Chains A and B, each alone.
Chain A
Amino acid sequence: MNLETLTLQEQIDGLREKKFSSVELVENYISVIEDKEDLNIFVSNDFEKALEKAKKSDGSKKSQQDVPLNGIPMVHKDIFCTKGIKTSCGSKMLDNFYPPYSATVVEKLEQAGSICLGKANMDEFAMGSSNETSFYGAVKNPLNIKKTPGGSSGGSAAAVAANFSSFSTGTDTGGSIRQPASFCGIAGIKPTYGRVSRYGMIAFASSLDQGGILAKNIKDAAIALQCISGYDSKDATSIKVEVPNFSEDCESSEFEHVVGLVTDLINSFGDEDLSKNYGEAIERLEKLKIKTREIELPNLELSLPVYYVIAPAECSANLSRYDGIRFGYRAENVENLEDLYFKSRGEGFGNETKKRILIGTYCLSSGFYDAYYKKAQKIRNLISSDFVNAFKDVTSVMLPTTSGEAFDLGSITDPVEMYKQDIFTIPANLGGLPATSVPFGEKNNMPLGIQFIGNILEESSLLNISNKFQLGEK
């Protein structure tokens, strides 16, 4: 039995039925990871501790209810603080950072019994759509090493696709879970903003960032999402509501669905392959006898410019904490305090991060604040209202995840072309809405993804439709 190719659900069942042990699982994964080092997926690993924990898990008498992921190996995006373990966020700035505390997501997964094998490479500070902005070099797509795995959670997506783990954590500010999931042929979910605590998740754009899960399929994503969700007093933006049983809801027959479609909008892009895949996705819904309804999202295309004001503005404020003094990279040979700031930030940040800080600084600077930042927030409201209106008639909205398949590493040099990668994923972040990406279709032998966007806190219904869609006709 190839333990590393099993789904999360199969691993949970197998461990419970003692078909294999957690130690065997971990050893299997370590061997796969060592074989595929060239993919550049891990920034750091914790194999020794993982084996120690696996031994403990195998001897554990705790119930399935108490530790639902007991003995299950997994991978964290290197944006989540792990106490005493390097947390770089893909940046030279944090190459020497060993956090004194763990993120709530990390603690929750530990409490659930899972075992972290290592930290996954990512675009620097989650700013990128191809993993190429990482200080540690780009991750290669396990399905074709010339291609990008997507970004910013490219390492997390590649880890699942390359069988380094059955699931991984990721974060999504403008599509950073869904786009790499689509490029690597796996499933991903970004839950409602506030469903998962942001405590210990290194901040990029605080009103958009949300942690989530990448997995082999939607059911597995639901199981893992269950374990990281919930109110956290350490994050004032986390929502105080009970967490539904996502894994049960995912397979329930109780949900009624009406899926919102935007066929005219998709056709307006004039991309035959994009329209074809979207059309085939509609056919699948019809075969599954799921109701659909055409809706309007008139401001969707404005998402891109709005996002590139709001995200850089918030990032310029968030990243002001990197001063070279309290933690992170500190420049040598400085003349004075001011020089220490300038050089530490100049040498510690990569080019894409610098670019975004500068854009954010520009949009927030005196004389431009109203024209850019305030205006972008108004249009954010317009885009969000389009979804509020849509959800009066439908239970979810179906969009492509990306406009195309994974592209060649190094092939996009125009920043705006790169930013366009996120045109279909950004709207969910602007509205704080939960969204999934489900593998569907292919182009040039690479996978494509279909995205479902749900209403606020309606992850159960969203996971249910995504799961039905992924399973297809029975």
Chain B
Amino acid sequence: MTINDKTLENLSKLSKIKIDDNLRDKLKKDLNLTMNMIDKINKIDCDQIEELSHPIKDNFNLREDVVSEDINRESLQKTSNKTEDGFYLVPKVIE
């Protein structure tokens, strides 16, 4: 089994997702089924092949680095229900 309890715990930490105890077994089973399917790629010899990370070659259309519109802090912060004086509120980090 590729993904055991220890791996799942590590993945939970890395991805910062709390995993409920009642979900663990099902999740482990599904992840292992998926990884078994994915493992087919290990049988393919493609050492000499280049990686393809972007489907369209040579398409770099970076815009001029100029301000085109102002960011309205107030309207952006409306998406959070915990803000104060233009700052986002989080639980205390420094004691």
- A residues whose Cβ falls under 8 Å from a Cβ of B: 96-100, 192-194, 207-208, 231, 233, 236-240, 302, 304-306, 308-309, 316, 320, 325-328, 330, 334-343, 345-347, 349, 351, 354-355, 357-359, 361-363, 365, 371-372, 374-382, 384, 414-416, 419, 429-433, 456
Asked if A240 meets B61 with Cβ closer than 8 Å, knowing A316-B15, A379-B44, A416-B34, the reply is yes
The answer to whether B33 touches A414 (Cβ under 8 A) is: yes
- Binary flags per residue of B44-87, CB closer than 8 Å to A gives 1, else 0: 10100111111110011111000010001001101111100000
The answer to whether A100 touches B17 (Cβ under 8 A) is: no
| Interface size band for B | 35 or more
Question: How far apart sit A84 and B33, CA to CA, in the bound complex (Å)?
Answer: 41
The answer to whether B56 touches A305 (Cβ under 8 A) is: no
Question: How far apart sit A272 and B53, CA to CA, in the bound complex (Å)?
Answer: 37
The 27 listed contacts between A and B (C-beta, < 8 Å) are A100-B79, A207-B54, A208-B55, A231-B61, A236-B60, A308-B38, A320-B16, A325-B82, A327-B79, A327-B80, A328-B79, A336-B92, A337-B90, A340-B90, A341-B16, A342-B16, A351-B26, A355-B30, A362-B35, A363-B38, A374-B51, A375-B41, A382-B44, A384-B55, A419-B37, A429-B55, A432-B55
Main SS at interface, chain B: loop
The answer to whether A432 touches B56 (Cβ under 8 A) is: yes
Question: How far apart sit A347 and B19, CA to CA, in the bound complex (Å)?
Answer: 9
Q: How far is the CB of A382 from chain B (nearest CB, A)?
A: 6
Residues of A within 8 A of B63 (CB): 233, 236
Question: How far apart sit A371 and B42, CA to CA, in the bound complex (Å)?
Answer: 7
Q: Is B1 an interface residue (CB 8 A)?
A: no
The answer to whether A355 touches B18 (Cβ under 8 A) is: no
Question: How far apart sit A341 and B36, CA to CA, in the bound complex (Å)?
Answer: 30
Asked if A419 meets B34 with Cβ closer than 8 Å, knowing A236-B62, A239-B59, A316-B15, the reply is yes
Question: B42, B50, B53, B92: which has the most chain A beta carbons within 10 Å?
Answer: B53
Who on chain B is nearest to A339 by CB? B91
Question: How far apart sit A335 and B14, CA to CA, in the bound complex (Å)?
Answer: 19
